[in-house]
Structure 1
Amino acid sequence: MDWRAQLDPHGLRVLGECTDGDDALTLIGPDEPAFWPIFRGSPEYAESAPDPLDRWSARVLGAVADTVGGTPIFPFGGPPYAPFQRWAVATGRAWPSPIGFLVHEEIGMFASYRGAIRHRGSAKIGTGDRPCDTCTGQPCLSACPVDAFADGYDVDRCKAHLHSREGRTCRMRGCLARHACPIGQGRRLPAQAAFHMEAFL
């Protein structure tokens, strides 16, 4: 399957593959930084309707699935929700990080799974090692200015900081703990990070 020919025009890439029963699942996400200007030029971004990225993902990946003869699956639209976290780990290319977020072997903690395509065929499972095991100092553990990862993930503390004047940097640039990961630094544009933080809030 020539996934690049299908995904490159949309600023997307394969983030890994796994199996689900007799089928293969190809997990797909943004190929940053190319993705952001493509999405920003879409009709979904220009509209005032809610969830523009989800609507864009459904349209684009739905069309890709039709072209390759597969079935699209999305991490939104539930409940029930598809187990994307479990699938991501099963690809052999992503692992739980010390702060709980997944870390991808090439994108670090900024991997975003916009959908998956179920299809017939074999899956290419990764064989790499968890990068956190050899990461010097594990800077993600100490990067949060309000220590929101001291005991699991304190979402309320995180959001309170983001709403404060002191939280402007995190709000406009994205999570500092994610940025601290040595893998994939510089891939996510500030405007895209701010978009995701606004959606989170």
Structure 2
Amino acid sequence: MSDDGGPTGQIAAALAEHGLIPRGGFVFEDGEDAPSGPSGQPARSLLLIGQAGAAPWRHFERWLETQPAGFENPLDSWSRQVIGQVAKDFGARAASPSDRPHLPFQQWAMRAEGLRPSPLGILMHPEYGLWHAYRGALLFDVEVETPEVREQIHLCDLCVGKPCLKSCPVGAYSGSGFAYEDCLAHVRASAGGACRSRGCLDRNACPQGLAYRYPEAVQAFHMKSFAGLRS
């Protein structure tokens, strides 16, 4: 594979056709408990795959139009298909955040990009804010050069007002964690119409990365998926 000063340029080009991007990576240390690579032996290196903003959405929608009505977990299936093909083309093994047993994607992302969690649990990115995601990873038997991990300014440390903790109608996020059942019940109830149509109000209250904020239709898709709603 040819190198482009970091993640393989050919991989980045293949991902760009689907609105996805490399999201950093690293080489596993000797003796580290790494997941298996394509050979079945512990992987030597990892490259995270994800998105900034809603760039993959139009590609995903075109694919979804070709699938049967009521197709379950479509975004996960699309991501697996796209990343799986890239893995096949470049001699890697694809991994997904929905794999069982769960792989430590959040820890990998913090290690690969030097990010830290926001009060909502979503990793805060210095450019994308909360509007980004990790869709999978490529695991290699060999070392793949990735960008140097640089210490990032954690924007949440600079935020005094913390509007992300003050906008939820049921106060689902607090210093004690995420009140999952309260959030779910509100989203499913008649009072949760704004959340269903426009997404998480706490997430939208964050002032960072606004240029990458997901359109309302994308947020509604994710919220309905979270709540297990058909319409």
TM-score (norm: length of structure 1)? 0.89
Residues 140 and 180, structure 1, Cα contact 8 Å, conserved in 2: yes
Structure 1 residues 32-51: aligned runs within 5 Å: 32-43=53-64, 46-47=67-68, 48-51=70-73
- 1:128 alignment partner, SS class: coil
Counterpart CA distance in 2 for 1:45 and 1:137 is 45
Cα shift at 1:24: 2.6
Residues 39 and 45, structure 1, Cα contact 8 Å, conserved in 2: no
Residues 30 and 112, structure 1, Cα contact 8 Å, conserved in 2: yes
Structure 1 residues 54-93: aligned runs within 5 Å: 54-78=76-100, 80-93=101-114
Q: Deviations over 1:113-165 (max 9, x none)?
A: 11011232233223212121112422212122211113210001101111122
Gaps of 5+ in 2: 1-7, 31-43
**Residue among 101, 126, 135 paired with 2:150:** 126
**Is 1:200 aligned to 2:222, yes or no?**
no
Counterpart CA distance in 2 for 1:14 and 1:137 is 33
Aligned twin of 2:127: 106
Residues 61 and 72, structure 1, Cα contact 8 Å, conserved in 2: yes
Greater share of helix: 1
Cα shift at 1:44: 7.2
| 1:172 to 1:133, Cα distance in 2 relative to 1, 3 A | same
Moved more, 4-13 or 42-51: 42-51
Aligned residues: 200
Q: Deviations over 1:94-121 (max 9, x none)?
A: 2111233322232222322110112322
- 1:113 alignment partner, SS class: strand
Residues 167 and 205, structure 2, Cα contact 8 Å, conserved in 1: yes
- 1:196 alignment partner, SS class: helix
**Residue among 137, 140, 165 paired with 2:190:** 165
Counterpart CA distance in 2 for 1:101 and 1:39 is 22
**Residue among 181, 184, 192 paired with 1:156:** 181
Q: Percent of counterpart pairs with the same letter? A: 38
Counterpart CA distance in 2 for 1:129 and 1:94 is 9
Hey, which bits of structure 1, 4+ residues long, moved more than 4 A?
none
Counterpart CA distance in 2 for 1:140 and 1:18 is 31
Counterpart CA distance in 2 for 1:144 and 1:53 is 26
Residues 18 and 24, structure 1, Cα contact 8 Å, conserved in 2: yes
Select the structure of larger CA radius of gyration: 2
TM-score (norm: length of structure 2)? 0.78
Counterpart CA distance in 2 for 1:173 and 1:20 is 40
Residues 20 and 50, structure 2, Cα contact 8 Å, conserved in 1: yes
Residues 115 and 152, structure 2, Cα contact 8 Å, conserved in 1: no
Root-mean-square deviation (CA), in Å? 2.0
Cα shift at 1:43: 4.4
Residue type at the aligned position of 1:133: D
| 1:93 to 1:191, Cα distance in 2 relative to 1, 3 A | farther
